[in-house]
Amino acid sequence: MLAVFAGFFPSGMALPVVPRYVHDTLGLGTFFVGLVMGSQYVSSILFGRRLAGSTVDGRGPKLAMRLGLLGISVVGGGYFASLAVVEQPAAAVTLLIAARLVTGVAEGFIITSALAWGIARLGAAHSGKVIGWVGMALFAAYGVGAPVGSWVHERFGFAGVAAAAVLVPVVPLALVTLMAGTAPSGLKRPPFLHVLGLIKLPGLALTLGSFGYASINAFIVLLFVGKGWGGAALAFSALGAGFIVARLLVGHWPDRHGGAIVGAGFAALQAVGQLLIWLAPGPVLACIGAALTGAGYALLFQGFGVEAVRRTPPESRGAAMGGYVVFQDISMGLSGPLGGWLALQAGVDSVYLAGAIASAGSVALALWMRRRPVAA
């Protein structure tokens, strides 16, 4: 879990900083903010998750984790490269997008290897617990990383965030190298597209359910700035706190009660959180909405993940976890430019109304999933 925390901590630092770097320093609009923040999911969707899954199933999760942590350090180098040409916005944003593309691949390796490694050690019956632990480490990294990133940016500029991305993964990379790995199963593995077909229902529910979470990552800073509110980094902390508290209090529910029904209930909770952000007259209610979004997303992701594991054979668990997160990446990748376009047409707050509607669609798919417990 330390490796997951360290791998995602630099991304957490970047969340409140990169949008302002694009918007304020480079002088580009909200569409480019969404494009930059969503670009990492393009590489994940096209080949990152598939490559991560095949590496985990074929070479073991230890190697995949090491490659992912190394990739995060490379991202920091990309941030430095963007800063070097900051007077040329087109070149700077191109290098920034390249760094975000590497982020998508690196994070895919980290999360896929962590999930598959944990499930291999504990067994599929405890898959919900494993997903819960990994998710808490991830959101702790986001929740702590966001205010730290703002603090570092105020004192050292974007270069400080870039340096952290280079240096933070070094120690966990050394520790993972010393750990004992788990051997691949050696069994013949079905094609990746076949695995995607097995998990399509929980995956599509995750796609719709991820829009609200993605909209906070990409646009909450612009919402706060546009309304003249301070403390945008606290919204990220509220998102992470809601996620972690939900996992700690009821993280055992998907294993005990079933992933589909738990996912449906918490997708509904996320919809409420998105509506609160949409209607918020001030930052306090917006942060409460972010916390409810985090709590809802915590069990939504975990519940549908349990359904995905249940529908796949043991020798394809790496591909299943990589494929499952592809559905998340689709939402993350589309929500940036789509949310940016919507913000231009109807204001940034309208993005959160769209998030509530998407969450309601996730509820509907989850209820349908209960009626079709075996994938077609």
Compute the average pLDDT of residues 139-149.
87
> Residue 120: inside a domain, yes or no?
yes
pLDDT surpassing 70 at residue 32? yes
Domain residues for the domain of 150 are 2-371
pTM passes above 0.85 = no
> Residue 233: inside a domain, yes or no?
yes
> Residue 37: inside a domain, yes or no?
yes
User: How much is the pLDDT for 286?
Assistant: 97
d(CA 205, CA 295): 17
User: 182: helix, coil or strand?
Assistant: coil
User: How much is the pLDDT for 266?
Assistant: 98
d(CA 282, CA 223): 11
Cα separations (Å) of 363 from 37, 301, 366, 374? 26, 12, 5, 18
Structure tokens at 91: 């070149």
User: How much is the pLDDT for 220?
Assistant: 93
Kindly report, residue by residue over 276-327, the tens digit of the pLDDT: 999 999 999 999 999 999 999 999 999 999 999 888 887 787 888 888 988 9
Q: Count the domains in the chain.
A: 1
Q: Which of 12-26, 66-80, 240-254 has the highest mean pLDDT?
A: 66-80
> Residue 102: inside a domain, yes or no?
yes
Structure tokens at 205: 């529910």
CA 108 to chain centre: 9
Compute the average pLDDT of residues 214-219.
88
Kindly report, residue by residue over 84-113, the tens digit of the pLDDT: 999 999 999 999 999 999 999 999 999 999
> Residue 376: inside a domain, yes or no?
no
User: 61: helix, coil or strand?
Assistant: helix
Kindly report, residue by residue over 111-131, the tens digit of the pLDDT: 999 998 888 888 777 888 888
Give the CATH number, domain containing residue 94: 1.20.1250.20
296 and 360 Cβ atoms separated by less than 8 Å: no
Matching residue, tokens 């970047």: 14
Compute the average pLDDT of residues 1-12.
91
Q: How many CA atoms lie within 13 A of 29 on its CB side?
A: 9
